[in-house]
Amino acid sequence: MTVTLENSLEITVPAHKEKERIDKFLAGKLPSVTRSKIKKLIDEHSVSIDGKAVKANHIVRPGEIITVVFPPALPHDLLPENIPLDIVYEDDHLIVVNKPAGLVVHPAYGNMTGTLVNALLHHSQILSGVGGNTRPGLVHRLDKDTSGLLVVAKDDLTHVHLARQLAERKIKRVYHAVVWGRFRKPTGRIEAPLARHPKERTKMVIHEDGKYAATNYKVLEELSLMSYIELKLETGRTHQIRVHLSSLGHPVFSDSTYGGRGRQLAGLNQERTAFVSRLFKKFNRQMLHAKTLSFIHPVSQEEMTFDSPLPQDMQELLHHLRSSRGV
């Protein structure tokens, strides 16, 4: 059981809990907080039981009430930038933003400006800090060339609660995509573990030793050479949708990383090759959009659902495909 106070959490150790160090116990209960952050909280006496600070090697016991106090976020060196944002919803605790394709979500080495985080820092003076100094507020992410909805936390408690919903698969995320080919079945489920590519570290691969991942799909419309589909995530691994669809032989249209561009021209006749080549020139990003986002508000406990219309480029692509069914 977890209770939210003004700037802290109270976590009750469940009955019949096996022996476990408190740092490991908290790591399981607070998936958005890094091990190093938990260690720092304990070292700074911000973790207590019955008002007494505990050490990292304390063994939790059933019924104990653990209090975790979150200090204000530390300052960072990131530059706030006046980059336009499509804010779908905002209150004192969180922001829901509709990210355009082409916008990197957070700063990284060699790319510290021009990101969604830089834009958020200009928009809001307060963002949660549990995700680290380069990812303030970010509960989850979208790839650079994926458009759609993201929820951002303004304070650490909101971040922790949303991250737990994410870890417990209570946040519902629905994507729409245009993919190559036609499916044998109108609905299906893809279950395949994902891991980092052993040589290309920016890519993911299906690997038996990877992390569990599951994606559900539904065909919305069959089109010329392609399909327009809906996807519901059970898990949220890096590049999950793109890798899973590619493994079925249905890569996302124009996804150059996972086979959605050039190699799809093989075997097409002259007319179809010319048609697809024109589409590649006009639509040069993966056609994947995070359309619907649902979660329980950490403070009001209200179930909130947001929907984002398809961006203009995806609408135009669908128009081209619907107008060229004979190709």
Residue 189 has pLDDT above 80, yes or no: yes
Residue type, 49: I
| pLDDT for 76 | 66
Q: How far apart are CA 234 and CA 170, in angstroms?
A: 9
Q: Which of 17, 47, 69 is a domain's end point?
A: 69
Convert the pLDDT of each residue in 34-44 to its tens digit.
Answer: 788 889 899 99
Higher pLDDT, 230 or 113: 230
pLDDT tens per residue across span 224-244: 899 999 999 999 899 999 999
Q: Are 137 and 125 in contact (CB under 8 A)?
A: no
Beta bridge partners of 82: none
Q: Which domain holds residue 276?
A: 174-290+315-322
For the chain, percent of residues with pLDDT exceeding 70 = 94
Which tokens is 155 given? 């304070």
Note whether residue 138 is domain-resident. Answer: yes
Examine the domain organization and report whether 60 and 109 are in the same domain. no
* pLDDT tens digits along 254-311: 999 999 997 788 888 999 999 999 999 999 999 999 999 999 999 999 999 999 999 9
pLDDT band of 327, cuts 50, 70, 90: low
- Mark whether 162 and 188 lie in a shared domain: no
Tell the residue number behind the tokens 């010319």, with chain if given: 274
d(CA 135, CA 137): 6
pTM of the model: 0.84
The answer to whether position 160 is within a domain reads: yes
Please report, in angstroms and rounded to a whole number, the separation of the first and last CA atoms in the chain: 58
Domain co-membership, 244 together with 193: yes
Condensed to tens digits (0 to 9), the pLDDT of residues 124-166 reads 988 988 766 778 899 999 999 999 999 999 988 899 889 889 9
Residues 31, 92, single domain; the answer is no
Of 51, 69, 87, the residue at which a domain comes to its end is: 69
User: Between these two residues, 60 and 135, which has the higher pLDDT value?
Assistant: 60
Answer yes or no: do 78 and 160 share one domain.
yes
- Tokens 């933003």 locate to 97
Is 2 a residue whose pLDDT tops 60?
no
In a domain, 60, yes or no: yes
Residues 157 and 102 in one domain: yes
**Crossing angle of helices 270-282/312-322, nearest 10°?**
170
- pLDDT value for 1: 45
Please, which pLDDT band fits residue 325 given cuts at 50, 70 and 90? low
Q: What is the mean pLDDT of the chain?
A: 90
Q: Say if 25 falls within a structural domain.
A: yes
Q: How far is CA 312 from the centre of its chain?
A: 22
60 and 79 share one domain: no
pLDDT score for 167? 85
Q: What is the pLDDT of residue 146?
A: 98
Count of domains observed in the chain: 3
Residue 187: pLDDT over 90: yes
User: What is the domain-level CATH number for residue 41?
Assistant: 3.10.290.10
By C-alpha distance, which of 307, 309, 248, 252 is closest to 284?
252
Please check whether residue 297 lies inside any domain of the structure.
no
Q: What pLDDT score was predicted for residue 94?
A: 97
Q: What is the mean pLDDT of residues 209-236?
A: 95
pLDDT at residue number 3: 45
Mean pLDDT of 48-61: 92
Catalytic residue among 143, 145, 155, 255, which? 143
Q: For 169-179, what is the mean pLDDT? A: 96
In total, the chain counts a number of residues equal to 327
Q: Give a yes or no: residue 295 inside a domain.
A: no
Q: What is the pLDDT of residue 263?
A: 76
- Are both 151 and 116 inside the same structural domain? yes
Is 143 a known active-site residue?
A: yes
Q: Are residues 182 and 276 in the same domain?
A: yes
Q: For 56-70, what is the mean pLDDT?
A: 91
Helices (H), the chain: 22-29, 35-43, 116-123, 156-167, 240-247, 270-282, 312-322
What is the spatial distance between Cα 311 and Cα 142, in angstroms, rounded to a whole number?
A: 15
Q: Is the same domain home to 157 and 248?
A: no
The CATH number given to whatever domain includes residue 152 is: 3.30.2350.10
Query: Which has the closest alpha carbon to 276: 177, 144, 178?
Result: 178
Q: Measure the CA–CA gap between 94 and 172, rounded to whole angstroms.
A: 17
308 part of a folded domain: no
In a domain, 300, yes or no: no
Q: What is the DSSP string of 169-200?
A: T-SEEEEEEEEES--SSSEEEEE--EEE-SS-
pLDDT for residue 112: 80
Higher pLDDT, 107 or 48: 48
Name residue 195's beta-bridge partners.
205
At 65-81, the pLDDT tens digits run: 999 887 766 556 788 99
Domain final residue, candidates 110, 136, 168: 168
